[in-house]
Amino acid sequence: MRLCSISAKMMRNTVYGFLVLVSLSYTLGEEFNLFGDAGQAYSVEVNLGHPPQKFNLLVDTGSTTLAIASQVRQGGKSFFKANESTTIWDSGKQVQAKYSQGMWVGHLASDWVQFPSLSNIPEVRTDLALITESHKFFMNGSGWQGLLGLAYLPVGAWGENVVVESWLDSVDRTLKKPISFQLKLCGVLNATNATHYGNFKMLDDATENKNTNQSYQTPVLRQRWYEVGVLSVRVINTNNNNSAPTQSTGTDIDNEICLKLNEEKSIVDSGTTNIRLPDTVFREIVGQIRNAVSKINVISDEFWYHGEAGCWPQPQEWSLPWIAIDLLSVDADNQYFTLEIPPQTYMRVVSTGEAGTDFVCYKLGLEAGPETVLGYTAMEGLQVLFNRSAGWIGWQTSNCGSNARITGPYNASTSLIDSCQLRRPVSETAVSIRAAQWALCAISIIAAGVLVYLLAPCVKAVCRKPLRTQQISLSTAALVEQET
Ligand SMILES: *[C@@H]1O[C@H](CO)[C@@H](O)[C@H](O)[C@H]1NC(C)=O
Ligand SMILES: *[C@@H]1O[C@H](CO)[C@@H](O)[C@H](O)[C@H]1NC(C)=O
Ligand SMILES: *[C@@H]1O[C@H](CO)[C@@H](O)[C@H](O)[C@H]1NC(C)=O
Ligand SMILES: *[C@@H]1O[C@H](CO)[C@@H](O)[C@H](O)[C@H]1NC(C)=O
Ligand SMILES: *[C@@H]1O[C@H](CO)[C@@H](O)[C@H](O)[C@H]1NC(C)=O
């Protein structure tokens, strides 16, 4: 037993040495302003009010309003003390947001907001929601106290006769020109620490984009959330070698899958962790990945289908298939391109060295749900530009994170917009935009006791102690459409 634990540690140290080298070369010349604890989304530091109070806001493309805790809450000590800001203007009007699991209620105020890491953006006065009550929204020990919503106005927080201006709109108004933003999410820097890093940047049309790699653009089909055309999600087989798939992967789009994926809507949401897929597509993909993995070792159903963590005595080199996500191209309605996601990205490191053990735990970065959500797992290792005013999202490979790639463009024989019914209009008359209730962070606290899976029988004795870890999953629920 002793022998086993020592050898596991030795193996790990070798891997660590390598990873530390790799991560150093990533960090050189890289400025990270986004951080996330294990299992949580990425957040950015903000100064609110005068004199400034510092907080971390979760960067969320799945909602629109800047919302901040303004009272003591369970599991978090830090909150915005509105009465200590000399510049606060509190309307007293109630606003609220509902989630598929959880909600908050607060009131509408406005104050000065500045992000220390965004040097090209001035301090602006913007609307904020001061959260006074919440249910299943904040988490114990989460590193953030509020949300920075980056989507379009229709999915802002809701209140009677209230329109809550977003921070992005305030910036556009102040600078008198549209500003785009870019998320470069890098994931974990090494396998010994589950904290993940990234960069959040604002770009106007004159700002030079230093990444010269080809950019692939997908249109925003409806400007509420970032709703895009996800044409298919597939497994690409590699030769069981950790390398990228060797062949280009353009295939004809399967109409049935495409209709299924976009039946409700498909959104790009940095406030959600996983890639969420309609149940049938999810089961198909997981089945295929599982078949590939079953040759090497056995991981139980709980891991694949129920979001449980799997833990190993050392970091894993995953020899698994890649996942391909086909997105409609902005250039022609029969054209698409493909995001190729490696197993290092979708087998997410969620905790390391917990509870006095040396185990590294992973969770599957895929989940089943009613609609398609490209959570941050689909963005890690890529550089994603949200051009809000022009209505497209640009994808490029990046110099940090996993070696995710983009291939294409590919041509289909017919219009994908027609065959996948992507232009289904939302009937504006039937939907009260103001009454649109959004929902973003269904918070599910999973896995009080994490299941432990073992590679070699000899290691079994080492990890009898049950591992405990708390994880969250952020998600968006359907727009509640209300009759006017
Ligand atoms: C949060 O922490 C409090 C006490 O610190 C505890 O009573 C509560 O059960 C925790 N909630 C969750 C969801 O873990
Ligand atoms: C991971 O890194 C962060 C920041 O570098 C540090 O604060 C944290 O304690 C580390 N966690 C572990 C488990 O080592
Ligand atoms: C946003 O899109 C418009 C129109 O396509 C383009 O002119 C502008 O340069 C884009 N902005 C950025 C930052 O790429
Ligand atoms: C695995 O990759 C190496 C180099 O990247 C290559 O030489 C080898 O043939 C590959 N193995 C298989 C089974 O394709
Ligand atoms: C795809 O279609 C575009 C025009 O729609 C054409 O310019 C391009 O050559 C085509 N590419 C291929 C690989 O057929």
How many CB atoms neighbour CB 223 within 10 A?
Answer: 15
Q: Which residue has the higher pLDDT, 467 or 345?
A: 345
Q: What is the pLDDT of residue 197?
A: 95
Q: What is the pLDDT of residue 14?
A: 35
Q: What is the pLDDT of residue 443?
A: 27
d(CA 437, ligand 1 centre) in Å? 28
Residue 361 and residue 352: Cα distance in Å, rounded?
6
For 147, 193, 298, the CA distances from 173, given in Å and listed in that order, are 21, 40, 56
> Which of 74-88, 290-304, 465-479 has the least mean pLDDT?
465-479
Q: Whose CA is nearest to atom 2 of ligand 5?
A: 411
Which ligand does the CA of 73 lie closest to?
1
pLDDT for residue 469 is more than 80? no
d(CA 180, ligand 3 centre) in Å? 8
Of the pLDDT bands very low, low, confident and very high (cuts 50, 70, 90), residue 45 is: very high
Asked whether 190 lines ligand 3 (CB < 6 A), one says: no
Ligand 3, atom nearest to 207 Cα:
13
Q: Whose CA is nearest to atom 13 of ligand 2?
A: 193
pLDDT per residue over 207-258, tens digit each?
767 777 889 999 999 999 999 999 999 998 765 555 556 555 556 788 899 9
pLDDT for residue 439 is more than 80? no
Mean pLDDT of 53-80: 90
pLDDT for residue 453 is more than 80? no
Q: What is the pLDDT of residue 217?
A: 96
pLDDT for residue 11 is more than 60? no
The reply to whether 32-176 and 215-378+398-419 are identical in fold is yes
Asked whether 418 lines ligand 3 (CB < 6 A), one says: no
Of 35, 57, 59, 37, nearest to 48 by C-alpha is 57
Residue 168 and residue 151: Cα distance in Å, rounded?
9
Ligand 5, atom nearest to 331 Cα:
5
Specify the amino acid at residue 172.
D
Strands (E), 115-192: 124-135, 146-149, 180-190
- Assign domain 215-378+398-419 to its CATH superfamily: Acid Proteases (2.40.70.10)
Mean pLDDT of 417-440: 53
Q: Whose CA is nearest to atom 12 of ligand 4?
A: 239
Of the pLDDT bands very low, low, confident and very high (cuts 50, 70, 90), residue 72 is: confident
Strands (E), 244-321: 266-268, 275-277, 310-312
Q: Which residue has the higher pLDDT, 430 or 173?
A: 173
Asked whether 195 lines ligand 2 (CB < 6 A), one says: yes
pLDDT for residue 167 is more than 90? yes
d(CA 236, ligand 3 centre) in Å? 32
Asked whether 27 lines ligand 5 (CB < 6 A), one says: no
Asked whether 332 lines ligand 5 (CB < 6 A), one says: yes
Which ligand does the CA of 242 lie closest to?
4
Asked whether 37 lines ligand 2 (CB < 6 A), one says: no
Contact (Cβ atoms closer than 8 angstroms) between residue 211 and residue 396 = yes
Asked whether 241 lines ligand 4 (CB < 6 A), one says: yes
Q: Whose CA is nearest to atom 7 of ligand 3?
A: 205
Which ligand does the CA of 394 lie closest to?
3
Ligand 4, atom nearest to 239 Cα:
14
Residue 221 and residue 52: Cα distance in Å, rounded?
38
d(CA 241, ligand 4 centre) in Å? 6
Mean pLDDT of 292-316: 77
> Which of 188-192, 227-231, 268-272, 343-347 has the least mean pLDDT?
188-192
Residue 441 and residue 135: Cα distance in Å, rounded?
11
Q: What is the pLDDT of residue 24?
A: 39
Q: What is the pLDDT of residue 2?
A: 28
pLDDT for residue 130 is more than 60? yes
pLDDT per residue over 260-276, tens digit each?
999 989 999 998 889 99
Quote the Cα angle for 128-132-133, to 5°. Answer: 125
Terminal Cα distance for the chain, rounded: 68
Q: What is the pLDDT of residue 46?
A: 97
Q: Whose CA is nearest to atom 5 of ligand 1?
A: 75
32-176 belongs to CATH 2.40.70.10 = yes
Q: What is the pLDDT of residue 191?
A: 76
Asked whether 353 lines ligand 2 (CB < 6 A), one says: yes
Mean pLDDT of 430-446: 29
Asked whether 52 lines ligand 2 (CB < 6 A), one says: no
Of the pLDDT bands very low, low, confident and very high (cuts 50, 70, 90), residue 474 is: very low
Of the pLDDT bands very low, low, confident and very high (cuts 50, 70, 90), residue 109 is: very high
Ligand 2, atom nearest to 353 Cα:
13
* Per-domain boundaries in the chain: 32-176, 215-378+398-419, 429-483
Asked whether 445 lines ligand 1 (CB < 6 A), one says: yes
Percent of the chain exceeding pLDDT 70 equals 75
Mean pLDDT of 380-389: 95
Residue 156 and residue 87: Cα distance in Å, rounded?
23
> Which of 119-123, 352-356, 432-436 has the least mean pLDDT?
432-436
- Count CA within 13 A, CB hemisphere, residue 328: 28
Of the pLDDT bands very low, low, confident and very high (cuts 50, 70, 90), residue 440 is: very low
| Residue 223 DSSP class | E
**Which conformational region is residue 227 in: left (phi greater than 0), alpha (psi within -120 to 50 degrees), or beta?**
beta
Q: Which residue has the higher pLDDT, 458 or 343?
A: 343
**Max alpha carbon distance in the chain (Å)?**
71
Q: What is the pLDDT of residue 145?
A: 92
Contact (Cβ atoms closer than 8 angstroms) between residue 181 and residue 386 = yes
